[in-house]
A = this chain, B = another copy of it.
Amino acid sequence: MDRDNRVQTLSEADCLRLLGTVPVGRVVYTEHALPAVLPVAFEVGPDGRLVLALRAGGTVVRALDGTVAAFQADRLDPATRTGWSVLVHGRAEVVRDPALHEHLLLTGPRPWIDGERQVFVLLTPELVSGRELHTCAHGAQLGTGRPH
């Protein structure tokens, strides 16, 4: 039996659907010329863009704005060694439109760290990849409940 069959590549649609099932992901940015990783509250917006909720004034917001960023989220079960991981690359832009900012304050994700002011960063997915690990025993997929 090829044990590699535990790994399944996910479609872009499945990746975005799975991203919508978790409240936090990890944004990768560059700080002091090294890659940094920060857990961030986020949601998948109705237009497919990721809405990241951050505290204003952090270095991460300055580092992200106007760049191509990477964003990763996963759900992993150490007991069964199953789960999924999704990676998104895309342009990140701070929301500067006051009306959109107000709208997101009411309807969008809240940053994990409360602060005086919050900032929303929109990440437009350009490359989306992901994979799912499932058990050899029954071939069931986590998170989808249906075969591909």
- Which A residues form the contact surface with B (CB < 8 A)? 3-4, 6-7, 23-24, 26, 28, 34-39, 68, 70, 72, 74, 76, 78, 81, 83, 85, 87, 89, 112-116, 127, 133
Complex contacts, A87 vs chain B, CB 8 Å: 36-37
Shortest Cβ gap from A60 to chain B (Å): 12
Complex contacts, A89 vs chain B, CB 8 Å: 34
Complex contacts, A26 vs chain B, CB 8 Å: 26, 37, 72, 74
* B36 and A70 contact, CB distance less than 8 A: yes
**A-side interface mostly:** strand
Complex contacts, A83 vs chain B, CB 8 Å: 39
* A23 and B78 contact, CB distance less than 8 A: yes
